[in-house]
Chains A and B, each alone.
Chain A
Amino acid sequence: MTDAADTPFMVGVIALPLAGAVAAFVWPRRAPAVGLCVAGLVWIPVLGMLIQLVSHGVQHHELGGWAAPLGIALRADGLSVLLVLMVALVGGTVSGYAAGYFGEVRRSTSPSFSSSPPGGDGEGSEDGGRAHARACFWPLWLFLWAALNALLLSRDLFNLYVTLELLGLSAVALVALADAPVALGAAMRYLLVSLLGSLAFLLGVALVYAAYGTLDLPLLKAALGGPVAPVAPVALGLMTAGLLMKTALFPLHFWLPPAHANAPAPVSALLSALVVKASFYVLLRLWFEAFAGAATGAAMDFLGVLGAAAVLWGSYQALCQSRLKLLVAYSTVAQLGYLFLLFPLSGAAAGGFTAWAGGLYFVLAHACAKAVMFLSAGSLMRAAGHDRLAGLGETVRAMPVTAFAFALAAVSIIGLPPSGGFIAKWLLLNAALGDAQWWWVGVMAAGTGMAAAYALRVLRLPFVGTASLPPVRRVPRSMEWTTLGLALATLGLGFTAAPLLEWLRVGAPVGGPGLVGGQP
């Protein structure tokens, strides 16, 4: 194993956060340092995977040398590598932010903030609470990171189930870190939904195993190649239902806004940016790879319709919220809807890869932008002591860096150029127009308009009023500047699409031109 091409970087991206989680658990005092070390060091295996992908194509690794049906096999194609990269970028930034957020406990400074403001402040408002949250945050987050990377590299149903379960449990525990009663209720609901989703998924997996005797995705694909047995759609339906619940697709989104809005800010960012994408990723693997034969056009359209409803309903709800974090959380509900437009559009002949690329670029752009939104909301909330939109104007104006970061993220969420969100919407739009599927164009246009409207509810805040600034609680600089860094990355995604989409093409299940059009 001396050749660089054979180095098992895939094991590295899983093992490193896992080791970090153990270390952070054993030495709670050193936990932030451990977390930051992992966030830095993880780039070595991540970039290693990327180089392997670019130079040698899709990578396989069998843990301990045991082959597929028996052992644990890892597989990294363009999709996996891109998402691992996204996790490293967003996760790394959130780690930097969290170091400031759960920072040193200063017993003398904040006597006046001992009571939780109404509306369920998710902050650990007492110093003791913050110390406890800090001790628990790092091991849980690093564990979640390991589970996420493992999920993205797994290629059989059982491992996907296990990693999904680990991911869900650590996410629930992270939500419960905010020890406000509202947050605990939200965490409880999240736990139940997560378990129910896992149960449905497991039921589907059991059906598959009973019918085909294998859980390996490539082997399944081969087995399903012939005439489709009636059990296959049932199993796919069960698994899909479970995953939709975890992805919070309308109308199964009810648990998401309270959970995401009441968690501590770094946790909200991780959940909205990364965790919901994991179950979406599994859906893609099922629908476009293993069960490509069993998935019908009508079913794809159905997912698209649910996505469209999510776009409209989520945006509408975001327009109605009076709290910043709830607004951002409903925006997630809406933005997740766009991802599901990938299903009907990617099935079309003309824009297969265009829609695929659009959907996945949407995943990347949304991950960065939404993390920025939650992080800046957290900074504002820390400074103001609440997150009610009506009383936030002066605070926003006193924190121009955070306000600017939020504005850049909003540009991407709305889909204005130049940003990752623009590229993603452009690709989806191009696929829809190229295949003359007009109704999706209408949904995207309406969603964009509504996104602009709800983003404006926040963006106008710094301009409201002319009063002088009230004193606000100081927020660590590292929190503000890490947020801005990720916001600039969101903008940068508007310029890096060409190479990223080339990587995505490696091992992609759909083909076609990058953009439709130009052939008279």
Chain B
Amino acid sequence: MNFDSWVLVLILLSSLVPAVVIFLLPEESRRWRTAINLGGAGMKLVLVGVVVWGVYHEHTYSVSLALLPGLALLLRVDALSMLFATLSALLWFLTTVYAVGYLEGSPRRRRFFGFFSLCVTATIGIALSGNLVTFLIFYELLTLSTYPLVVHRGTEKSLRAGGVYLAYTLGGGLTLTLAIAWLQALAGPVNFTTGGALHHIADAHAPALRWVFALMILGLGVKAALVPLHGWLPQAMVAPAPVSALLHAVAVVKAGAFGIVRVVYDVYGVKLASQIGAMPWLAAAAAVTILYGSLRALSQDDLKKRLAFSTVSQVSYIVLGVAIFGPVASVGGTVHLVHQGFMKITLFFCAGSFAETLGVHRVSELDGVGRRMPWTMAAFTIGALGMIGVPPLAGFITKWYLGTGAWEAGQPWVIAVLAASSLLNAAYFLPVIHAGWFKPPAGPWPTQHVPAGARGETHWMLLGPSLVTAALVVVIGLLANAPFTPLEWARLLVAREYE
């Protein structure tokens, strides 16, 4: 074991150790808890940065531990893992800052931050997984560690939502487990390999491979909220805002989408996946989800629910990009892993700030909120415009690549889907923006509650992260062609996949 192996383990430990320490610390030691949280998050960022640098220079990192003969725990990184790992590490840091501010003075923070750190460990583990079994282990760990966060408030409603959440995700996990076990019985151990790892059994087991693919997409689709497996997501909105932010931008939903990318690119490979005829089905499922999610978002008055249905829709852009057989669309899909993360987390941060500062939970209560909280509303506007796909924001880059990619691949119907979806996005986001900036306040805010220590419009720990992520939405859109942007990475990894 040298540094190249240890660094991956250290990346995991940088949130696992804080989790354990936080559980052992007494509830009252707030300062220590915050210090450990931020220390771990900062260390993870640095370590991920080191590995990103290495991967860019074609350095390889890997470490493995045999669980059984033929079944190993394998951590290994490639361009795709670093895309996801960087996103998680960065957003974890920001969300931690936000959560500390958000939960100021509320009970049971020890439990919250302990499971929060575990949840990030699982997400990073998913990013670093080098084979299906490792992926599965962290995928299930993610399910378990997010449950306490979803039911954190302890109300009857949140417990019911938690039950629904577990029923969906454990069901999905079980399906995925069966699929992976089946694949192992057919092919032996399967490591993620650029271009696919199943060519040696492609001819002998074609029908079985088709079934395995379907089961895998079913299992992953639950977390990725593909319609009709999305039922848990709007319900899980009862969780505190930082949890929703994390669930939607980085952790759960993204883990499902990331898994689908992995299965298509690095287990089957695009060639085999289209050979077995899976791609049109996947594209159709993604298109249906995109439209259905947007339609449902239109009629939601609860702001977080509207955002939740928007997530259902947006995450499927990733799946759509993967399902279109062509390099340009693939770039659009994979880069959306990051773009959607930044945009959606901005929106959730802002929604949480509105709720925490003014008690505003509904779209109908948002009138004039821009006058009271201009900075937060500005960040929200950037996130929303990005979602709609207004240039030069991040969302535009995604839609541009998806559209041109679909055209190039001879699937012009995708452009119609994108156009319809953008229209719907505008239809459910623009009224919010309009109400916030241009309508006069309807009366006193539901609960005028400024957290302690706030001088500006709200606590700086709530405002700061929202502004940073909003700025990033602008920067990665404007400077999309600069080195080390998500787009650059996506191109790099797609070039390796299609070569």
Write out, one digit per residue, whether chain B residues 133-173 have a CB within 8 A of any chain A CB (1) or not (0).
10011001100100110011111000100110010001101
- Judge whether A418 is part of the interface by a CB distance below 8 angstroms: yes
Q: Which residue of B lies closest to A516 (CB)?
A: B185
Query: With A449-B171, A517-B184 known to touch, is A423 a contact of B68 (CB < 8 Å)?
Result: yes
Contacts of B141 in A (CB 8 A): 417-418
A445 contacts partner chain B, Cβ-Cβ < 8 Å = yes
Nearest opposing residue in chain B for A351, CB measure: B185
Q: Which residues of A contact B174 (CB under 8 A)?
A: 445, 448-449
- CB-contacts of A496-510 with B (<8 A): 497-498, 501
Segment at the interface with B among A33-41, A164-172, A264-272, A460-468: A460-468
Cα distance A418–B65 in the bound complex, in angstroms: 13
Q: Is the CB of B151 within 8 A of A494?
A: no
Residue of A nearest to B152 (CB): A463
When the two chains form the complex, which single residue of A433, A498, A519 contacts B67, counting CB atoms closer than 8 Å? A498
Residues 59-94 of chain B: 1 if any A CB is under 8 Å from the residue's CB, otherwise 0?
Answer: 000000111111101000000000000000000000
Give which listed residue, B67, B159, B170, B187, contacts A494 with CB less than 8 A: B67
Is the Cβ of A429 less than 8 Å from the Cβ of B181? yes
Query: Size band of the A side of the interface?
Result: 35 or more
Indicate if A416 sits at the interface (CB-CB under 8 A). Answer: yes
B284 on interface, CB distance cutoff 8 Å = no
- Decide if A452 is an interface residue (CB 8 Å cutoff): yes
| Residue in B65, B154, B162, B181 whose beta carbon sits within 8 Å of that of A466 in the complex | B154
> Which of A460, A494, A519 is in CB contact (< 8 Å) with B162?
A460
B185 in complex: contacting residue of A464, A497, A517, CB < 8 Å = A517
Interfacial chain B residues near A459, Cβ < 8 Å: 147
Instruction: State A516–B181 Cα separation when bound (angstroms).
Output: 10
Shortest CB-to-CB span from B144 to chain A, Å, is 7
Q: Considering the chains assembled together, what is the distance between the CA atoms of A4 and B160 in angstroms?
A: 61
Output the least CB separation between B130 and chain A (Å).
15
What's the tally of chain B residues with a CB closer than 8 Å to chain A?
Answer: 44
Q: Does B200 contact A (CB under 8 A)?
A: yes
Contacts of B173 in A (CB 8 A): 416
- Across the interface, do B200 and A520 meet the contact criterion of CB distance under 8 Å? yes
The interface residues of chain A, by DSSP majority, are classed as helix
The residue on B at minimum CB distance from A417 is B137
Contact partner, B184, options A441, A515, A519, Cβ 8 Å: A515
Min C-beta distance of B388 to chain A, whole Å: 38
A498 and B69 contacting across the interface, CB-CB below 8 Å: yes
Please determine whether B154 and A426 come into contact, CB atoms closer than 8 angstroms.
no
Residues from chain A with a CB closer than 8 A to the CB of B162 are 460, 463
- Whether a CB of chain B sits under 8 angstroms from the CB of A163 is no
Contact B67 A416 (CB under 8 A): no
Contacting A497 at CB < 8 Å: which of B67, B147, B171, B177?
A: B67
Query: Are B151 and A460 in contact, CB atoms less than 8 angstroms apart?
Result: yes
Q: Verify if B201 is at the interface (C-beta below 8 Å from A).
A: yes
Give CA–CA (A177, B329) in the complex, Å. Answer: 71
- Chain A contacts for B186, CB-based, 8 A: 517
B178 touches A (CB below 8 Å):
yes
Task: Tell me, yes or no, whether A359 is within 8 Å of chain B by CB.
Answer: no
CB within 8 Å for A417 and B140 given contacts A460-B162, A463-B154, A466-B154: yes
How many angstroms between the C-alpha atoms of A494 and B69 in the bound complex? 13
A6 vs B184: C-alpha distance in the bound complex, in angstroms?
A: 43
Q: Are B201 and A520 in contact (CB under 8 A)?
A: yes
Pair B170/A498 contact, Cβ less than 8 Å: no
Let me know if B163 and A518 touch, CB within 8 A.
Answer: no
**A515-B178 CB under 8 A given contacts A460-B151, A460-B159:** no
Q: A426-B71, A494-B67 are in contact. Are A433 and B137 (CB under 8 A)?
A: no
Q: What distance in Å separates the Cβ of A450 from its nearest Cβ neighbour in chain B? A: 11
Given known A-B contacts A445-B178, A494-B67, A519 and B188 have beta carbons under 8 A apart = yes
Contact: B154 with A441, CB < 8 Å? Answer: no
Which residues 175-201 in B have Cβ within 8 Å of A in the complex?
177-178, 181-182, 184-189, 200-201
Task: For B72, give the chain A residue with the smallest CB separation.
Answer: A498
Partner of B188, one of A400, A433, A463, A518: A518
CA of A214 to CA of B479 in the docked complex: distance in angstroms? 86
Contact (Cβ within 8 A) B69 A515: yes
In the complex, chain A residues 398-437 whose Cβ is within 8 Å of any chain B Cβ:
400, 404, 411, 416-418, 423, 426-427, 429-430, 433-434
A517 in complex: contacting residue of B133, B152, B159, B188, CB < 8 Å = B188
Q: Select B181's contact among A404, A423, A430, A463, beta carbons within 8 Å.
A: A430
Q: Does B204 contact A (CB under 8 A)?
A: yes
> A518–B187 contact, CB under 8 A?
yes
A515 to B188, CA, bound (A): 8
Contact B68 A417 (CB under 8 A): no
A113 within 8 A of B: no
Given the complex of chains A and B, what is the CA–CA distance between A494 and B187 in angstroms? 23
Q: Knowing A416-B144, A516-B185, A519-B188, say if A497 contacts B137 (CB, 8 Å).
A: no
Asked if A27 is at the interface (CB within 8 A of a chain B CB), the reply is no
Shortest Cβ distance from A502 into B: residue: B69
Contact A495 B67 (CB under 8 A): yes
If A429-B181, A445-B178 touch, does A456 touch B163 (CB 8 Å cutoff)? yes
Report whether A433 and B182 are in contact in the complex, using a CB–CB cutoff of 8 Å: yes
Query: Cβ of B67 and Cβ of A434 under 8 Å apart?
Result: no
Contact A497 B188, beta carbon cutoff 8 Å? no
Query: Within 8 Å CB of A417, what residues of B?
Result: 133, 136-137, 140-141
A391 to chain B minimum Cβ distance, whole angstroms, is 16
Could you tell me if A411 and B144 are in contact, using CB atoms closer than 8 angstroms? yes
Q: Is the CB of A518 within 8 A of B70?
A: yes
Identity of the chain A residue whose Cβ is nearest the Cβ of B147 in the assembled complex: A459
CB of A514 within 8 A of chain B? yes
A residues in contact with B154, CB < 8 Å = 463-466
CA distance A501 to B133 in the complex (A): 19
Complex contact B170–A452 (CB within 8 A): yes
Chain A residues closer than 8 Å to B181, beta-carbon distance: 426, 429-430, 433
Name the contact of B69 in the complex, choosing from A434, A495, A514 (C-beta under 8 A).
A514
Residues on B with beta carbons closer than 8 Å to the beta carbon of A418 = 67, 73, 137, 141
Q: Which of A427, A452, A501, A519 interacts with B166 by CB under 8 Å?
A: A452
B94 to chain A, nearest CB (A): 26
Write the nearest CB–CB distance from B269 to chain A, whole angstroms.
16
Contact indicator A463/B68 (Cβ below 8 Å): no
Residues of chain B lying within 8 A (CB to CB) of residue A501:
68-69
B295 to A: closest C-beta gap in Å: 32
* Pairs of residues from A and B, 8 with the lowest C-beta to C-beta distance, nearest first: A518-B188, A514-B69, A433-B185, A417-B137, A515-B70, A517-B185, A463-B151, A429-B181
Known: A456-B166, A518-B189. 9 other contacts (CB 8 A): A426-B68, A426-B71, A441-B178, A452-B166, A460-B159, A460-B163, A498-B68, A513-B69, A515-B68
- Can you name 10 A-B residue pairings with CB atoms under 8 Å? A429-B181, A430-B181, A433-B182, A463-B151, A466-B155, A495-B65, A498-B67, A498-B69, A514-B70, A517-B70
